Amino acid sequence: MGLRVWVTPIWQSDTITSVLEGSYRLVRNAILSFREMQKSGLHIPAIKYEDLVSHPESIVAALLKEIGIPANVLPRTLKAMDMDSQALVPFSQDKMVKLKNQTKMSDLDPEFLDDMQQEFEEVGVPGPYNWDENFRLPGTIIPK
């Protein structure tokens, strides 16, 4: 029930601010879960979205190898990536590009940015004031 309370606005959002405010806790919680699983001894590879987009074959091949799936599925996997799996939700590629082009960091509520900065720092991830495109979680697959 609590999840529905803060996820529902994402589905109705039309600004990047709404999308960010509705989703940053989801990302934070995913990072916390990822780190807890790693601490418990589970080997979980991570993928950086930008690496996947810019080096799909390298990243997917490494991921398939990492999780023990035969390399012969690589062409089908890459073909499946041609489709926007988020096409019907607010995180579609088209919508996110449009929102990103409409909004600057300075347009976001400073209080929201302060909260987000603090929460991300608590999980060891750069917040909006010090985002670094080179940041990767431990265990991230690096493109070749």
CB 120 within 8 A of CB 26: no
72, 75, 77, 81 alpha-carbon torsion, rounded to 10°: 170
Which distant-in-sequence residues (6+ apart) come within 8 Å of 121 by Cβ? 127
pTM of the model: 0.68
> What is the distance between the alpha carbons of residues 28 and 35, in angstroms, rounded to a whole number?
11
Q: Give the residue-averaged pLDDT of 34-39.
A: 87
Mind listing the pLDDT tens digit for each residue in 81-128? Answer: 888 777 776 667 777 677 666 666 677 778 888 888 888 888 888 887
- Give the model confidence (pLDDT) of 7-19 as tens digits: 333 444 455 566 6
Helix/strand/coil for 140: strand
140 - beta bridge partners?
46
